[in-house]
């Protein structure tokens, strides 16, 4: 590909010829090859401008830098200076992969909690309507027949465009993307045109990155600036931030919720239970009516948790924006399977309900444990921790929620990263006013202690890591799966 083609659409100051061939694009100097274009971007802890010399030594022929930093690229055949190298990387990546988003209908879903479940329900409905659908999100990347473990919720722009190209080549019609606030702030989806942008909710998280809830909100809101002129915004209006979005956005809009006035409204929610255990038994699904301005239809799902009503409504709103009818929406919701690590049951024949969930904010924990209390005849036992090197202000908030809604909690490590696990636990404890907790820094030990405590009719919740199969301690990544530990511990007592 000729350099001039890659740079089309960029406003830049250029030194050198644009007619040279480029063999590849990289923003990581370690991945540079002979004849590559290297884009220097600022990362979380490192600045790509500090690695320009290494990129040149590996064969880079053209360097993209930000204005005033081109002197670091002396020796390159071509120096391209731009105002924002992250935007440049995204636009270059789109050109490099042949503008794949123009050949797909992109659905972007943002929010603090529920993005993953909503994305899988959306995929199921679109497929029920005959649409070949790829997915990029927190749990996995699905680009057709290929499926791989997710590296981050929304990939960096170069990888993102590569995955979209894989979807186009595989004959996909739609791509459903979880779009994180980090991705929006870091311009990873520049160069993408979305057919639909959807919002599920907003609660405290990532303030270590965004600084304030207002900045966090503004990052989420940015998704809707990428919607095409003929596209739609689908908003959960039950959420206060969603209600605010509705008043601020100029997009064509579909509102969802339980309040009168929503275009898609949930009514008459009924939960199903099997007869295992005390009380009503173990939850097995739910059904409810979706009311539109024209009609109403009933949907059934094997998903558990009343908080999933909002996720299902948003997915139904996305489908409705694409012209799909009640029959297709009903089938897609019925076909949607539980998502790994999202209210996931672990059943090894024990007499108590055991749930693994990704809840890692105080709001997510509140919704999860409120539902658990609703369905539990006995005691609620919760195992959770808070991540290191992340928003510290939510630690006491999570402690207060867990202690308030549980009969007993085990406060343990999540991913402590570079922090002292005991220090993190102590910060969680500052939010607790009850004497119903045990501090155990070793996560496996905490899970085993919780299993030993659980009795018939109780519910044991292990929250925070969900689908993750690793734990980061002192910067070292170890294999760790909550589900695997639970299965081993339960089998020992059954």
pLDDT of residue 251: 82
pLDDT of 279 reads: 57
Gap between the Cα atoms of 384 and 398, Å rounded: 9
Mean pLDDT by 10 residues, the chain (494 residues): 93 94 97 97 88 96 93 89 97 97 97 93 98 96 92 94 98 97 94 96 76 91 95 96 94 92 94 66 86 94 90 98 97 94 91 92 92 91 95 94 97 94 96 96 97 95 93 92 97 92
State the distance between the two ends of the chain, measured CA to CA, in whole angstroms: 62
DSSP code per residue over 209-275: HHSSHHHHHHHHHGGGGGEEEEEEEEEETTSHHHHHHHHH--SEEEEEESSTT-SEEEEEEEEEE-S
How far apart, in whole angstroms, are the C-alpha atoms of residue 315 and residue 309?
Answer: 10
pLDDT at residue 211, rounded to an integer: 77
Can you say how many angstroms the Cα of residue 205 is from the centroid of all Cα atoms in its chain? Answer: 12
How many C-beta neighbours within 10 Å does residue 418 have? 10
Fold topology of 100-335: 3.40.1190
Assigned CATH topology for domain 3-96: 3.40.1390
The reported pLDDT for the residue numbered 261 is 87
Protein fold of 344-493: 3.90.190
Instruction: Please count the CA atoms within 13 angstroms of the CA of 330 that sit on its side-chain side.
Output: 13
What is the residue extent of each domain of the chain?
Answer: 3-96, 100-335, 344-493
Residue 275's pLDDT is: 64
Q: How distant is the alpha carbon of residue 104 from its chain centre?
A: 21
What's the confidence (pLDDT) of residue 375?
86
């Amino acid at each position: 590909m000729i350099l001039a083609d890659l740079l089309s659409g960029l406003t830049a100051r250029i030194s050198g010829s644009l007619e040279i061939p480029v063999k590849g694009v990289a923003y990581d100097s370690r991945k540079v090859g002979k004849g590559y274009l290297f884009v220097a971007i600022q990362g979380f802890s490192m600045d790509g401008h500090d690695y320009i010399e290494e990129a040149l030594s590996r064969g880079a022929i053209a360097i993209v830098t930000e204005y005033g930093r081109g002197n670091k690229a002396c020796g390159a055949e071509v120096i391209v200076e731009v105002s924002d190298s992250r935007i440049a990387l995204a636009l270059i990546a789109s050109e490099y992969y042949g503008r794949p988003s123009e050949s797909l209908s992109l659905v972007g879903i943002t929010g603090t909690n529920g993005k993953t479940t909503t994305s899988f329900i959306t995929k199921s409905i679109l497929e029920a309507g005959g649409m070949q659908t790829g997915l990029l999100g927190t749990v996995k990347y699905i680009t057709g027949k290929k499926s791989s473990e997710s590296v981050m919720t929304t990939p960096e722009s170069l990888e993102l465009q590569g995955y979209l190209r894989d979807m186009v080549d595989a004959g996909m019609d739609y791509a459903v993307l979880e779009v994180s606030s980090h991705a929006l702030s870091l311009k990873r989806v520049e160069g993408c045109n979305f057919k639909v942008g959807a919002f599920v909710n907003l609660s405290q998280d990532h303030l270590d990155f965004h600084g304030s809830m207002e900045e966090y909100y503004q990052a989420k809101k940015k998704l809707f600036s990428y919607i095409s002129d003929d596209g739609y915004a689908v908003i959960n209006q039950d959420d206060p931030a969603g209600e605010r979005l509705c008043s601020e956005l100029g997009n064509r809009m579909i509102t969802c919720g339980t309040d009168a006035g929503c275009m898609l409204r949930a009514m008459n929610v009924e939960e199903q239970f099997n007869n295992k255990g005390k009380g009503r038994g173990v939850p097995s699904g739910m059904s409810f009516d979706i009311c539109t301005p024209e009609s109403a239809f009933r949907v059934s799902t094997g998903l558990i948790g009343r908080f999933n009503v909002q996720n299902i409504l948003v997915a139904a709103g996305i489908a409705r924006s694409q012209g799909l009818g009640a029959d297709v929406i009903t089938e897609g919701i019925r076909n949607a399977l539980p998502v790994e690590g999202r209210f996931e049951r672990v059943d090894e024949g024990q007499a108590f309900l055991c749930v693994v969930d990704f809840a890692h904010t105080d709001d997510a924990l509140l919704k999860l444990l409120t539902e658990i209390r609703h369905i539990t005849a006995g005691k609620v036992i919760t195992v959770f921790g808070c991540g290191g090197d992340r928003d510290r202000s939510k630690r006491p908030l999570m402690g207060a929620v867990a202690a308030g809604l549980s009969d007993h909690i085990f406060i343990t490590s999540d991913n402590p990263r570079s922090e002292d696990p005991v220090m993190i636990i102590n910060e969680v404890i500052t939010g607790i006013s009850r004497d119903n907790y045990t501090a155990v820094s070793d996560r496996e030990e905490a899970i085993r202690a919780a299993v030993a405590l659980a009795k018939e009719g109780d519910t044991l919740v292990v929250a925070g890591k969900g689908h993750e199969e690793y734990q980061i301690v002192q910067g070292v990544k170890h294999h760790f799966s909550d589900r695997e530990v639970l299965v081993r511990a339960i089998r020992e007592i059954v």
